[in-house]
């Protein structure tokens, strides 16, 4: 990968490397990192332990290549990962670095539901990090990852690295367009009687107490359950503030997850990037943090808008 063969510097760069052997990985990733160091940029590796070991050995333990735990960068929730990358850029920029190069490897999880969340993330960061001095080379092990994840890699990265070097990705799709194509997965619990059903809500204080009483019966650590209650409260408040009545809430509690839907008859919104950062940017005093908080406090936040209104579904895994 030669700097001269790539577009000029600017904001965020987002490239993909699909590899099937360690040699293919190191042949591209090692020059990427070293060329960055030669240009006065920072070099970071945030991958699985195995991939990190392969790169560390190929780099002979280069002291200026920072190897960080994948979980410290790709946090459990996607908005937190975006915030972490921004802080990474800020910290390195404060030290005089012009750009940060990151060899990254997302943990897509074990289920199709988890894959979908991170596929959405890979598209969203093209927008969320657009103005940040970061260059990500995302690596995908074709021997381990499922086909849907590999296919999404070719839709969400504007550049690709092959044995011939870097090239623009003809399969790349505009992030907003791609996110809109992703499905909202069905939730089987929604076809069963809910633990709590509140229809045409007008007393939101009483609603919060009712939800809290049901969640108090959940056999799970209290901190994530309390966080979930906060997310439900935020989304209920959003429906009251921005939607139209009637507003309804349904809550399901199973042995392995909590599911809550909040619905209203409002027109909703058509912003595929909503909730991946505060609505008003860095000025948190202006509010607009409800959906952003919900995405950080829940494992999945699904939004559906149709002729019947808007519905937000919040899911928290218990196991």
Helices (H), 61-201: 70-73, 78-94, 112-128, 147-156, 175-181
Please identify which residue in the block is written with the tokens 């009545």.
Answer: 245
Q: What is the pLDDT of residue 269?
A: 77
Q: What is the pLDDT of residue 75?
A: 75
Q: Distance (Å, rounded) from C-alpha 78 to C-alpha 150? A: 19
Q: How far, CA to CA in Å, does 232 sit from each of 9, 194, 217?
A: 42, 15, 16
Both 292 and 155 in a single domain? no
Both 139 and 201 in a single domain? no
Both 199 and 164 in a single domain? no
In DSSP terms, 310 is beta-bridged to 264, 305
Strand arrangement of the beta sheet that strand 13-19 belongs to? 65-67, 42-46, 100-104, 134-141, 13-19, 159-162, 165-168
Burial call 251-271: b when 16+ CB within 10 Å, e when fewer:
bbbeeebbbbbbbbbbebeee
What total number of domains does the chain contain?
2
Domain of residue 238 covers: 188-317
Both 273 and 193 in a single domain? yes
The per-residue pLDDT string of the chain (319 residues; one tens digit each, 9 = 90 and over) reads 444 334 445 689 999 999 999 999 999 999 999 999 999 999 999 999 999 999 999 999 999 999 999 988 887 788 889 999 999 999 988 888 999 999 999 999 989 999 999 999 999 999 999 999 999 999 999 999 999 999 999 999 999 998 788 999 999 999 999 999 999 999 999 999 999 999 999 999 999 999 999 999 999 999 999 999 999 999 999 999 989 999 999 999 999 999 999 999 988 778 899 999 775 455 444 445 889 999 999 999 999 998 889 999 999 999 8
Both 139 and 276 in a single domain? no
Both 170 and 146 in a single domain? yes
Q: Distance (Å, rounded) from C-alpha 264 to C-alpha 246? A: 6
Task: Answer whether 58's CB lies under 8 Å from 139's CB.
Answer: no
Helices (H), 171-250: 175-181, 204-215, 222-242
3-state secondary structure of 8: coil
Choose one of 152, 181, 210: the last residue of a domain: 181
What is the CATH classification number for the domain harbouring 169? Answer: 3.40.50
3-state per-residue secondary structure call for 246-282: CCEEEEEECCCEEEEEEEECCCCCCCCCCCCCCCCCC
Residue 312: how many other CB atoms lie within 10 Å? 27
Give the HSE-up count for residue 98: Cα atoms under 13 Å, Cβ half-sphere: 8
Q: How far, CA to CA in Å, does 90 sit from each of 74, 93, 96, 125?
A: 17, 5, 10, 16
**Pick from 263, 235, 258, 249: which is nearest to 189 by CA?**
258
Q: Give kind and range of the element (H or E) at residue 41.
A: none
Both 169 and 193 in a single domain? no
Task: Answer whether 56's CB lies under 8 Å from 44's CB.
Answer: no
Both 176 and 208 in a single domain? no
Task: Answer whether 26's CB lies under 8 Å from 149's CB.
Answer: no
Q: What is the pLDDT of residue 281?
A: 53
Q: What pTM does this model have?
A: 0.89
What is the CATH classification number for the domain harbouring 238? Answer: 3.30.565.10
Task: Answer whether 82's CB lies under 8 Å from 124's CB.
Answer: yes
Residue 180: how many other CB atoms lie within 10 Å? 12
Burial class (CB in 10 A: 0-12, 13-18, 19+), 183: exposed
Phi and psi (nearest 5°) for 201?
A: -70, 135
Both 166 and 212 in a single domain? no
* Distance in angstroms between the alpha carbons of the first and the last residue of the chain: 43
């Amino acid at each position: 990968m030669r700097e001269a063969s790539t577009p000029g510097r600017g904001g965020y760069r987002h490239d993909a490397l699909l590899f099937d052997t360690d040699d293919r990985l190191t042949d591209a990733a090692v020059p990427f990192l070293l060329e960055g160091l030669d240009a006065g940029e920072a070099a970071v590796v945030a991958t699985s332990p195995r991939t990190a070991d392969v790169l560390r050995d190929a780099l002979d333990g280069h002291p200026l290549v920072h190897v960080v735990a994948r979980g410290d960068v790709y946090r459990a929730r996607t908005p937190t990962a975006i915030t972490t990358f921004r802080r990474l850029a800020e910290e390195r920029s404060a030290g005089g670095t012009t750009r940060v190069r990151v060899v990254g490897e997302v943990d897509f999880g074990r289920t199709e539901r988890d894959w979908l969340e991170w596929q959405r993330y890979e598209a969203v960061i093209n927008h969320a990090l657009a103005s940040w001095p970061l260059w990500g080379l995302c690596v995908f092990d074709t021997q381990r990852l499922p086909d849907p994840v590999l296919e999404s890699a070719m839709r969400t990265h504007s550049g690709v690295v092959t044995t011939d070097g870097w090239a623009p990705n003809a399969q790349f799709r505009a992030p907003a367009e791609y996110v809109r194509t992703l499905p909202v997965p069905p939730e089987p619990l929604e076809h069963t009687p809910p633990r709590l059903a509140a229809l045409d809500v007008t007393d939101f204080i009483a609603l919060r107490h009712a939800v809290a009483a049901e969640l108090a019966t959940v056999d799970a650590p209290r901190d994530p359950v309390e966080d979930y209650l906060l997310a439900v409260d935020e989304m209920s408040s959003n429906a009251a503030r921005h939607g139209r009545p009637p507003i309804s809430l349904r809550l399901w509690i199973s042995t392995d997850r909590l599911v809550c839907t909040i619905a209203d008859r409002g027109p909703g919104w058509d912003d595929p990037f909503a909730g991946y950062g505060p609505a008003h940017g860095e000025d948190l005093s202006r509010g607009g943090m409800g959906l952003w908080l919900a995405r950080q406090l829940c494992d999945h936040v699904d939004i559906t808008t149709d002729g019947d209104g808007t519905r937000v579904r919040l899911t928290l895994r218990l196991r």
